[in-house]
Amino acid sequence: MADRATLAVGGLFLLLGTIFGGVALYLWSAVEERQLAAEGRTARAELLRKDIVADRASGSIVRPGYRVHYRFAPEQGTPVSASAQIDETLWRRVHPGDPIEVVYLASDPSVHRVEGQEREIVLPLVFGLIGVVFAPLGLCLVFGRSPFPAGFAEWIGRSPAYALGVIGVLFFLPFAGGGIFWLDAVQSEQALFDARGQQAEGTVVSKAIVKKSSGSSSGPGRSRSQSTHYQVTYRFQGDAGEEVAGTSELDVDDWERLKEREPVAVTYVAGRPWLHRVQGWEPSWIAPIVFLVVGGAGVLACGGLAWWARGRPARRIKPRKPAPTPTAPQPIQEIESRKPNRSWWWGAGIGAVFFFAGCGATIDGIGELLKERRYAAEGKSAEARIVSKRIDEAQRGGRSRTEYVALYRFDTPGGAKGEGRAVLEVAAWEAARPGDRLAVRYLPGEPGSNRPAGEGGWAYGIIISIVGPLFALIGAFLAWGSWLARHDSDAR
């Protein structure tokens, strides 16, 4: 059986693997799909607009998504406006104004599925892989067994240099292959732009400042760095009249020059408008070259090591003779041996951060659930009117994303007046006019606590109420494991 510190770490890994595996099974089982099949009602939605989604901010290789914007009226309640990615064949067949079938839940029309909607499989696969890795590793640590087959240790023992070379080749080979594939994709796209490039004038829809973290803060001397990325979303029309909604990452100077609702120059490939370049965006050759160089150098170095060590017998290391027991006391060594091991403070500190962050998230989640419960039990409906519209632009040092806002006012049956703001999708914001009606919900006696009908919901509170205790539990495990490790090291 493993020692207490290993048990704590193994239990943590097992807990993480089980949770991620359970989430993957839940997502893959498509509970909402079965609920819609059993209880769903059918309605005809009106297709408002369709476009091709092309995200150039996530990498050089673009996979287009075919999206439709629609609106339907459930049997009870206010009309629902939404968008979804659907099958390409259906996307090309339907046009704005055409009806499209929607299945929805009468109790919550926001839970619905439009005809031809594509199912998300990436997220359950990622969660499933994490669960498959962490759960078996946790079991092995709990029961004190090696996670590797018995013959693996013997293979390494016969020739450690050869084994290290083979493992290194397998590790660096995907980097080299990915670099070759990535470089070929960039060169092929450049050839298409040179042969079939077309000019178009797009419109800036929104801007965003995205912060990404890298590095690690799990040990001494390590730090977590944060990089800032400036993204812009725009739309333009291709040569066949199809609308394309693109997102690209720019440097800060080009990003600041662009303004929402103003034109921007776009170059696209005729027949493939999702392959485009917005003004200020240039393809990066550095990343694929770095992948190719690192992967190629690693494969060559590790392959050379494996070739050199192939067939050579493992070097036997003679056991060292035990050092003679000192006859005289050595005060300096005794003082050093009594020096306390303070490395456990790192694990305890990180555990404390996770624990208190999880407790804070739990309190926030419970507060959101209580607020949703109050809206569900006491909330009243009212009809508001839009009084004005505005665009809250993204700014450095301020708001991180562009928001399309409609300001509204309403009167309660008791004569009280309330006002609020609604953040709308771009299409809904463009269609809205001052004086248009907007359904809202408010709390009796507190008209200042209001929101547009359809906003809110239980999902956020439930997720935070689950994630918060999970983080707190992970923090408690880390702190406990560090404390046990300290006592185990002191006992030795």
* Per-residue confidence (pLDDT) for residue 216, from 0 to 100: 43
Judge whether residue 222 has pLDDT over 70.
no
- The predicted pLDDT at position 13 comes to 79
Note the pLDDT of residue 275: 93
The pLDDT, as a whole number, for residue 312 is: 63
If you average pLDDT over each of 46-50, 127-131, 348-352, 365-369, which comes out highest? 46-50
Fold annotation for 379-460: OB fold (Dihydrolipoamide Acetyltransferase, E2P) (2.40.50)
* Distance, CA of 44 to CA of 42 (rounded, Å): 7
Does residue 488 have a pLDDT over 80?
Answer: no
pLDDT at 396: 82
Q: What number is the average pLDDT over the span 253-262? A: 92
Neighbours of 220 (CB within 10 A): 8
Among the residue ranges 3-12, 116-125, 212-221, 387-396, the one predicted with the least confidence is 212-221
Q: Which among 7, 244, 38 has a CA at the least distance from the CA of 138?
A: 7
The structure's pTM equals 0.70
The pLDDT of residue 35 is above 90: no
Instruction: State what percent of residues in the chain have pLDDT above 70.
Output: 83
The segment with the largest mean pLDDT, out of 56-65, 291-300, 458-467, is 291-300
> Predicted confidence band at 487 (pLDDT cuts at 50, 70, 90)?
low
Q: What pLDDT, on a 0 to 100 scale, did the predictor assign at position 191?
A: 93
pLDDT at position 220 is 41
Gap between the Cα atoms of 377 and 9, Å rounded:
44
145-166 mean pLDDT:
75
Q: Which residue has the higher pLDDT, 36 or 69?
A: 69
Rounded mean pLDDT of the chain?
81
* Residue ranges matching CATH 2.40.50 in the chain: 379-460
Torsions phi, psi for 248 (to 5 deg): -135, 160
CB distance 8 to 146 below 8 Å: no
At 132, the pLDDT band (50, 70, 90 cuts) reads confident
215 or 366, greater pLDDT:
366
> What confidence category does residue 90 fall into, taking pLDDT thresholds of 50, 70 and 90?
very high
Please compute Rg for the chain using Cα positions: 30
DSSP code string of 28-85: HHTHHHHHHHHH-EEEEEEEEEEEEEEE-SS-SS---EEEEEEEE--SSSS-EEEEEE
pLDDT beyond 80 at 142? no
Averaged over 300-312, what is the pLDDT?
83
317-340 pLDDT, tens digit each: 455 556 565 555 555 444 444 455
Confidence of residue 200 (pLDDT cuts 50, 70, 90): very high
Q: Which of 172, 187, 167 is nearest to 294 (CA)?
A: 172
**How confident is the model at residue 223, as a pLDDT?**
45
